Amino acid sequence: MDAHNAGRTARSLELLHSLSYFVPEVENRLVEAGLAPGRMGYFAGRSAPMGAVGAGVVTATFYNFSPAVIESVIPRAWGLATPAAVVDARYRAVGEAYVRLLGESVTNSPEMAEAAELASIAARGIPGVEGRPLYAGYAGVEWPDTPHLAFWHALTLLREYRGDGHVAALQTAGLSGLESLITHTATGFGFQKKFAMTRRAWTQDQWDSASDSLRDREILDARGELTADGKELRELVEDLTDDLALAPWAALGEDGAARLVELATPWRDVIVAAGVFPAGVFGPKVGTSR
């Protein structure tokens, strides 16, 4: 298993993790646990395995969100619900969403159990927590005992491990959080611009100022598209991210990874077809090979 194929495998499974940010079950359960509706659920829900951290830690680890929007809900969230209660509510909600979307015939199937085992082999092949703060938080969560939640937990460990490495790659490339968002959007593989701005809570002035800085560095051209240097820089980021996330997929091996993708792709397609992800989320090149 080389780093490029490992990266393609991780990206092909991403939506089976990230549905947790969009399904209504998660917000409903988090509100029941005491959190306020809206953005608080995302920031507290995702960061809760790290404990009752402050806004600075969430800003650092999430990387491309406006600090102001994080400060509006963190650490206030921890006065409304404990991190342990938030983790429990979120995991229960994801389990419920999987059952609703895929049906018990899938979540209780031998195929789901096999996928959970394969994903777990990869996740347990992660070599350590050094430099991986979000992964480290999730590594401390007890493994679920139902196959579909064990599957999601393993994917989450792999996603946050990769994400921590991605932040390191972006910093190596000299891209701030906002600059990384702008350049990723410009590749056509990330969020669409309007969704990126509103979801990450950046103002038009902030976006324009960072874009001007990228033009001064000849990373963006006058139209806001990546220059040749910008494309090379983004390729460097993605290659380094793949390299830093290789270990667990190497532990699983090419055959295991291919079987995992074979099992999980129909579930991913069902979830996409169910309209879990809002219109306008993804750039025009999502779904193409890279």
Between 149 and 287, where is the model more confident? 149
Q: Which residues pair with 282 in a beta bridge?
A: 191
pLDDT at 50: 98
Q: What is the mean pLDDT of the chain?
A: 95
First to last CA, the chain: 17
pLDDT at res. 288: 38
Closest CA to 265 of 254, 276, 273: 273
Q: How far is CA 245 from the centre of its chain?
A: 14
* pLDDT of 81 higher than 50: yes
Distances (CA, A) of 47 to 43, 53, 66: 6, 8, 16
Asked whether the predicted pLDDT for residue 139 surpasses 50, the reply is: yes
Q: For residue 280, is pLDDT > 90?
A: no
Q: What pLDDT is attached to residue 282?
A: 62
Structure tokens at 69: 């929007």
pLDDT score at 188:
86
Average pLDDT over residues 44-48: 98
Pick the closest to residue 169 from 246, 223, 227 (CA basis).
Answer: 246
Using a pLDDT cut of 90, give the percent of the chain over it: 92
How crowded is residue 3: how many other Cβ atoms within 10 Å of its Cβ? Answer: 18
Q: What residues contact 12, with CB distance under 8 A and at least 6 apart?
A: 261, 264, 265, 268
Q: What is the pLDDT of residues 3-35, one digit of tens each?
A: 999 999 999 999 999 999 999 999 999 999 999
Q: How high is the pLDDT of residue 279?
A: 76
Please say if the pLDDT value at position 63 is more than 60: yes
Phi first, then psi: what are they for 254, rounded to 5°? -60, -45
Alpha helices in the chain (DSSP H): 3-18, 24-33, 39-47, 55-62, 67-71, 83-102, 104-107, 110-124, 133-139, 147-172, 177-187, 193-200, 204-216, 228-244, 246-252, 254-273
Q: Residue 285: pLDDT above 60?
A: no
Total-model pTM: 0.95
Are 77 and 116 within 8 A, CB to CB?
A: no
pLDDT at 281 over 80: no
